[in-house]
Amino acid sequence: MPHLFTYGTLQDPYIQQQVFGRSLEGSPDVLNGFRISPEKIMGRYLVAEETNSTEDRIEGVVYELEQNELTKADQYEGAAYKKKKVGLKSGKTAWVYIRA
C-alpha cells in the first residue's frame, strides 16, 4: 500500500471524504530538504518545493492509501502538482505532491 505525505488540504477530513469517500488515519511526520513555497498555487494553495537544504523541512501527516486512492489524489491535485517519491524522517517512503 502506498504512503502519501500531506502538508495542506488533504489533511482536512471534509476534503478526505470528498476525494476518498472516507476519513484517513495518519501519523505526524517530517519531510526534510523541502520547504513550503512562498508562491501559492492559484494564489491560495500550499505547494512544496525541493531545496536539498538541511535547514528546510515540512511538518505534515503521512497516510496509508489504497492504490486506487492514490489515483484519486492525483485527480484532486491536478496539473499544477506532480508526485514525487521521498523518504521521510520516520524512515517511511511516501509520495508527496510538489510544484509541477
Q: What is the pLDDT of residues 79-97, one digit of tens each?
A: 999 999 999 999 999 999 9
Q: What is the pLDDT of residues 48-89, one digit of tens each?
A: 999 999 999 999 999 999 999 999 999 999 999 999 999 999
Q: CATH number for the domain including 84?
A: 3.10.490.10
Q: Identify the pLDDT of residue 75.
A: 97
Q: Identify the pLDDT of residue 37.
A: 97
The reported pTM is: 0.95
Domain count, the chain: 1
Q: How confident is the model at residue 20 (pLDDT cuts 50, 70, 90)?
A: very high
Q: How far apart are CA 68 and CA 41, in angstroms?
A: 25
Question: Could you tell me which residues are beta bridge partners of residue 49?
Answer: 35
SS (H, E, C) 21-85: CCCCCEEEEEEECEEECCCCECCCECCEEECCCCCCEEEEEEEECCHHHHHHHHHHHCCCEEEEE
Range of the domain at 34: 3-99
